[in-house]
Amino acid sequence: MRFRFEMDGDVYSKNKESFKRLLAKHGLRWRGSLDRPFWASGTERVTAVFDRDEERDLLRSAALVWESAGKSRLLEDLKAWAWEAGAKAVEDRSPSAEDVTDEVEQALRYWDIVWKPNEDWLKAQGRPRAWIEADVKRWKQQRQERRRELVGQATD
Q: What is the pLDDT of residues 108-125, one digit of tens each?
A: 999 999 999 999 999 999
User: In the prediction, which pLDDT does 96 show?
Assistant: 63
Report the candidate in 144, 77, 104, 54 with the shortest Cα–Cα distance to residue 64.
Answer: 77
From the list 82, 133, 91, the residue with the least C-alpha distance to 1 is: 91
pLDDT digit string, tens, across residues 45-99: 999 988 888 888 899 999 999 988 888 999 999 999 999 999 998 887 766 666 6
pLDDT digits (tens, 9 = 90+) for 34-43: 778 889 998 8
Length of the chain equals 156
- Of the candidates 69, 77, 61, 66, the one whose C-alpha atom is nearest the C-alpha of residue 25 is 77
Is the C-alpha dihedral spanning 99, 144, 110, 123 positive or negative?
negative
Q: In what order do the strands lie in the sheet with 44-53?
A: 29-30, 38-40, 44-53, 58-68, 2-8, 88-92
pTM of the model: 0.60
Q: Which of 12-26, 47-61, 90-104, 128-142 has the lowest mean pLDDT?
A: 90-104
Q: Where exactly are the structural domains of the chain?
A: 2-92, 98-155
Fold adopted by 2-92:
TATA-Binding Protein (3.30.310)
